[in-house]
Chains A and B, each alone.
Chain A
């Protein structure tokens, strides 16, 4: 065909009933400004809806935001939903109001990275870049 033009595609989603979407929108825009194509699925989605969207959109990575304290239940549920739908290779990153003691457990459940309030946006973007590259390499 013509010259190769791969673009990194990511999905930013908010699982559960938490409606605080300022962080997710901020991150979606920051990723856009870093050259990503960002599918944004809005607030109050189920893990299954997010997983189905990520698969249909063929994204390279998936970012979840939660500020309501339900991350221990919802983040792993998205990882499970992806695996169940046959796409365990899509890396999941998470962010929000997450206590330090939960981070290890979330990583053990398959979340690649966790970002807490105050994380510089450059660090989040480069984590997304790494996750996307690892996925396309693997």
Chain B
């Protein structure tokens, strides 16, 4: 596909062009700059970016599937980015989030992309932001990003998404887990999925107790059974409510600004990393001495 054809395809909602564009950007191809500078900034700023995160097996993909079905009732064009981890050994990955969403595979207005972390920690991949912008620019009014299965501190999604759901399920720990610092404090909506399972009510109570503490606006807690599409409509209402609050209060703009600065910083570091590594290797530093002090010296020399 030539670059001209590709750019035309992006404007014409061609799923091949969208898939190709994301690959080219992800692989750092020479055409990436042409693609990224051709995007429609107005559409990007209008789109709603929904983040879905939570521990492995909590039901993120199944919940995402339910949210897609619900959003499609209003005929919205939807983009999904689903991220799974790359192997630290082979660099390969199994991208398996699609399995739960295959019912939407032939829906012309749903485009989905599985991405591997490629060494990035934090729950996303380095190109997630670009993939969101490509999808938004092609006309997706809603973009859902599903992170890798996370622990307590993978928080990149909070910056990239306008609204982040933390999906939890009963049986993964006691109330002390809920008290710990991290994702729980910063998610916009907490979802207790598998709400038909034993312990779901207690989990919801624990979550309500910890997120109410010291906050004028407690984090809402929603209950869902994603496999049976239960609670999804109510969850969507909740998302809409939080979204309109964020738009009115300026929170949405504030986050977009913060996310943008952070992504610029991330890319600065990404670009600098190989250069600095080459510099460090070239120096043949002695094993003795503190690494931090050496780093400072190298940066001063630059």
Instruction: For residue A30, give the distance in angstroms from its CB to the closest CB of chain B.
Output: 9
A2 touches B102 (CB 8 A): no
B19 touches A57 (CB 8 A): yes
| From B18, B20, B95, contact of A38 by CB (8 A) | B95
Q: Chain A residues near B105 (CB, 8 Å)?
A: 41, 45, 48-50, 52-53
A9 touches B23 (CB 8 A): yes
B28 touches A4 (CB 8 A): yes
Known contacts A2-B28, A6-B27; A32/B96 CB under 8 A: no
A41 touches B102 (CB 8 A): yes
Q: Chain B residues near A100 (CB, 8 Å)?
A: none
Q: Chain A residues near B114 (CB, 8 Å)?
A: 39, 57
Q: Chain A residues near B116 (CB, 8 Å)?
A: 7, 37
Q: A36: nearest residue on chain B (CB-CB)?
A: B92
The 8 A CB mask of B7-45 against A (1 = contact, 0 = none) is 000000001101110110111111011000000000000
Instruction: For residue B222, give the distance in angstroms from its CB to the closest CB of chain A.
Output: 27
Q: What number of B residues sit within 8 Å (CB to CB) of A?
A: 39
Q: Chain B residues near A124 (CB, 8 Å)?
A: none
B92 touches A32 (CB 8 A): yes
Interface check B298, CB cutoff 8 A: no
Alpha-carbon distance A100/B271, docked complex (angstroms): 52
How extensive is the interface on chain A, given as a class? 35 or more
Q: Chain B residues near A55 (CB, 8 Å)?
A: 15-16, 19
Q: Chain B residues near A42 (CB, 8 Å)?
A: 96, 98-99, 102
A40 touches B33 (CB 8 A): no
Q: A60: nearest residue on chain B (CB-CB)?
A: B23
Known contacts A1-B33, A52-B106, A53-B98; A32/B19 CB under 8 A: no
A35 touches B16 (CB 8 A): no
Instruction: For residue B280, give the distance in angstroms from its CB to the closest CB of chain A.
Output: 16
Known contacts A5-B27, A7-B116, A56-B113; A39/B91 CB under 8 A: no
Interface check A33, CB cutoff 8 A: yes
Q: B87: nearest residue on chain A (CB-CB)?
A: A32
Interface check B174, CB cutoff 8 A: no
Among A2-56, those with CB < 8 Å from B are 2-7, 9, 28-29, 31-42, 45-46, 48-50, 52-53, 55-56
Alpha-carbon distance A74/B269, docked complex (angstroms): 48
Among B267-281, those with CB < 8 Å from A are 270-271, 274
The 8 A CB mask of A83-103 against B (1 = contact, 0 = none) is 001110000000000000000
Given contacts A4-B27, A35-B92, 14 further A-B contacts (CB under 8 A): A2-B274, A4-B28, A5-B26, A6-B29, A7-B26, A7-B27, A37-B92, A37-B116, A38-B94, A40-B95, A49-B102, A55-B15, A56-B15, A56-B19
Across the A-B interface, the 9 shortest Cβ-Cβ residue pairs: A58-B19, A42-B99, A32-B92, A49-B105, A1-B28, A58-B23, A6-B27, A39-B95, A35-B92
Residues of A at under 8 Å CB distance from B? 1-7, 9, 28-29, 31-42, 45-46, 48-50, 52-53, 55-58, 85-87
CB pairs A–B below 8 angstroms (29 shown): A1-B25, A1-B28, A1-B32, A2-B28, A2-B270, A4-B29, A5-B26, A5-B28, A32-B93, A32-B94, A33-B90, A33-B92, A34-B90, A35-B92, A37-B86, A37-B116, A39-B95, A40-B95, A41-B99, A42-B98, A42-B99, A53-B105, A56-B19, A56-B111, A57-B95, A57-B98, A57-B112, A58-B20, A85-B16
